[in-house]
Amino acid sequence: MPTLQFKGKTFVQNYHLAVNHHQLIPKRELNQTDKVSLHDNLVIQGDNLIALKALLPTYAGRVKCIYIDPLVEMENYANTITAERVRRVINGVPSAKNEALKQGTGGTFSYFELGPTIEMESLLRGNNLPSYTEFARYLFYISTGEEFTESPVNEATGFIGESKNYEVYLIYKPDIEWLKRNALTLQGCQSLPKFKGKQRLVFAPCKYVDDETCRDYRIDFCQLPYEIYRMQQ
């Protein structure tokens, strides 16, 4: 099968590996849905490559084709033009001559913008550590692909949200010295709420309990920041 060859092809093919992961921040006022989700139709404001990499943890291996219209939806057009176009197609345009367009297709979309990066090197060195809520948002998204809401977050218990399959916990503070001293302990396992049938996904710098104890308490342990790297890959 013929393939296109050009100077620097290998560099171009591998360039995405050098791009840091960005958080995807929902903008509720621009959504066409009451429930924000990465599994919905999506409108994302931001650079194409960065946006695609931000989607990688959720959609890796599931997308067969992507069409990108270059040099059209630039600057702030994503929220002033693109989202409005899609909204009209969904809701319908009463003045349209075409009956299908007049009625609208129905459906929803979730609107996101690119947030700040979470860099592996920064986490390892303790530089520019994200806030608890921002880190919780990022971890919840990449581990579940589901909507993150701030209201259930409880830093005292470590609970950051519940997905279809998991209760998700985060033991973390944006303080490198604190991170060096804290871990998932037996006391921490015992303090978890009563088991409700869902596995517990616990992110922490390290653990002072063995794998058998984790199994007893229905815990899937994810060490920070190394498990993030695995999920990103």
Residue located via tokens 């920041």: 225
Classify 17 as helix, strand or coil: helix
Q: What is the pLDDT of residue 202?
A: 96
Q: What is the pLDDT of residue 230?
A: 54
Question: In 10 A of CB 208, how many CB atoms?
Answer: 14
Please say whether the beta carbons of 192 and 159 come within 8 A.
no
Please say whether the beta carbons of 67 and 59 come within 8 A.
no
Q: What is the pLDDT of residue 71?
A: 55
pLDDT digits (tens, 9 = 90+) for 55-67: 877 776 777 777 6
Between CA 28 and CA 36 the distance in angstroms is 8
Query: Does the pLDDT of residue 233 top 50, yes or no?
Result: no
Classify 216 as helix, strand or coil: helix
Alpha helices in 78-119 (DSSP H): 83-91, 99-103
Classify 187 as helix, strand or coil: helix
**What number is the average pLDDT over the span 194-203?**
92
Residue located via tokens 């979470």: 118
**104-141 per-residue burial string, b: 16 or more CB within 10 A, e: under 16:** beeeebbbbbbbebbeeeebeeeeebbebebbbbbbbb
Q: Mention every residue, 6+ apart, whose C-beta is less than 8 A from residue 28.
A: 36
pLDDT digits (tens, 9 = 90+) for 154-193: 999 999 999 889 999 999 999 989 998 999 999 999 999 8
pTM above 0.85, yes or no: no
**What number is the average pLDDT over the span 96-101?**
83
pLDDT digits (tens, 9 = 90+) for 20-79: 778 788 888 888 888 888 888 888 888 888 888 888 777 767 777 776 666 555 566 777
